[in-house]
């Protein structure tokens, strides 16, 4: 009877308790994966110029380029779409919501003004809400496509630039795209800025959106930096390079070597004193 009970317990454990444990593991792994995705994903906010100046070839090229880019987007990102004039096409943040944004882009029609400042303020409110109610860990990136100047806010283009700096101050990256020769006032204020004059250039620009540093940046070293580097390479131990007002280089003691020597002498005297005290104690 005892053996039969033991077999029954073993059967129940193997067939009921083990699957429960396995399900718990799967559930835990799914939660960890979701948490990881929320902390590593990017939340994109697209501010899209649909004003009257975008009519014709411009809007066709912009639609084609954005659809191409969105179709290639990776998973686990959130998407928000804010055209300047077509609020009925707004897409609030949707996880893996590329398809919704593509539909909104395809349904865009041009016409209206260029209220970039107001739309950036709306973008920030949506970002703030998402940070507070969903997750504060996402990377937030606002993409601004425009072919013209601010036409609603009395502050004009400088007000747009102030809005961009305000977003960046709140930890939000801004990728500005000047389209068909306009929008260059964003340069120097957006985290990244590119100019695109046709569909191909716009697609190349969008492919750089996730880059930490734009691929077309040319790094240059000034003459002063080259001089400092050469001076540093020839610097002897214990010296610090300096350049006097006449441009003549010389070396100055940095004090570290002297300080170490002083400490060494003090330690020697302390050791000698300790030995002397020991000898005196033994004699007494």
pLDDT at 263: 60
Tokens 């930096």 belong to: 225
Classify strands 192-196 and 173-179 as parallel, antiparallel or unpaired. Answer: parallel
pLDDT at 97: 96
Strands (E) located in the chain: 42-48, 78-83, 91-95, 139-146, 173-179, 192-196, 239-243, 249-253
How open is the CA angle 86-131-175, to the nearest 5 degrees?
55
Residues of the chain by 3-state class (helix, strand, coil), percent to 5 = 55, 15, 30
According to CATH, the topology of domain 42-206 is: Rossmann fold (3.40.50)
| Dihedral angle computed from the Cα positions of residues 159, 165, 170 and 173, in that order, rounded to the nearest 10 degrees | 120
How confident is the prediction along the chain (284 residues), in pLDDT tens digits per residue?
544 444 444 444 444 444 444 555 555 555 555 555 555 689 999 999 999 999 999 999 999 999 999 999 989 999 999 999 999 999 999 999 999 999 999 999 999 999 999 999 999 999 999 999 999 999 999 999 999 999 999 999 999 999 999 999 999 999 999 999 999 999 999 999 999 999 999 999 999 997 654 333 333 444 554 454 455 445 454 443 444 444 444 444 444 445 555 566 556 566 666 656 656 555 55
pLDDT at 235: 46
Whole-model pTM?
A: 0.64
Contact 214, 208 (CB under 8 A): yes
In a 3-state reduction of DSSP, which class is residue 90? coil
pLDDT at 210: 78
Sign of CA dihedral 33, 36, 40, 43: positive
3-state SS string over 115-164? Answer: CHHHHHHHHHHHHHHHHHHCCCCCEEEEEEEECCCCCCCCCHHHHHHHHH
pLDDT at 266: 56
Domain edges within the chain: 1-40, 42-206, 224-253
Classify strands 239-243 and 249-253 as parallel, antiparallel or unpaired. Answer: antiparallel
Contact 115, 87 (CB under 8 A): no
Backbone angles phi, psi at 210, to 5 degrees: -85, -5
Cβ neighbourhood burial of 152 (10 Å; 0-12, 13-18, 19+): middle
Instruction: Give dist(CA 96, CA 79) in Å, integer.
Output: 7
Q: Hey, what long-range contacts does 120-126 have (CB within 8 A, 24 or more apart)?
A: 120/47, 120/144, 120/160, 120/163, 120/164, 120/167, 121/163, 122/82, 123/45, 123/47, 123/80, 123/82, 123/167, 124/166, 124/167, 124/170, 124/172, 126/45, 126/80, 126/82, 126/92, 126/93
């Amino acid at each position: 009877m005892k053996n039969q009970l033991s077999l029954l317990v073993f059967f129940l454990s193997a067939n009921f308790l083990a699957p429960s444990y396995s399900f718990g593991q799967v559930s835990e792994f799914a939660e960890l994966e979701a948490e990881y995705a929320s902390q590593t994903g990017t939340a994109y906010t697209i501010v899209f110029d649909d004003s009257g100046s975008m009519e014709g070839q411009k809007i066709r090229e912009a639609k084609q380029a954005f659809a191409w880019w969105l179709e290639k987007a990776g998973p686990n990102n959130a998407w928000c779409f804010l055209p300047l004039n077509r609020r009925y096409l707004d897409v609030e943040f949707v996880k893996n919501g590329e398809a919704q944004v593509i539909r909104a882009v395809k349904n865009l029609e041009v016409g209206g003004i260029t209220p970039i400042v107001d739309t950036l303020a709306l973008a920030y409110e949506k970002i703030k809400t998402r940070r507070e109610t969903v997750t504060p860990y996402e990377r937030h990136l606002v993409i601004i496509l425009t072919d013209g100047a601010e036409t609603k806010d009395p502050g004009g283009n400088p007000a747009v630039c102030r809005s961009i700096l305000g977003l960046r101050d709140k930890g939000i990256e801004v990728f500005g795209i000047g389209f068909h020769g306009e929008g260059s006032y964003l340069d120097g204020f957006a985290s990244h800025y590119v100019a695109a004059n046709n569909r191909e250039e716009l697609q190349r620009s969008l492919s750089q959106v996730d880059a930490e540093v734009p691929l077309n940046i040319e790094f240059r070293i000034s003459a002063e930096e080259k001089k400092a580097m050469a001076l540093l390479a020839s610097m002897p131990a214990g010296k610090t390079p300096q350049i006097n007002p006449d441009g003549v280089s010389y070396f100055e003691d940095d004090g570290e070597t002297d300080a170490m020597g002083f400490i060494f002498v003090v330690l020697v005297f302390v050791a000698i004193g300790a030995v002397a005290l020991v000898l005196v104690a033994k004699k007494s």
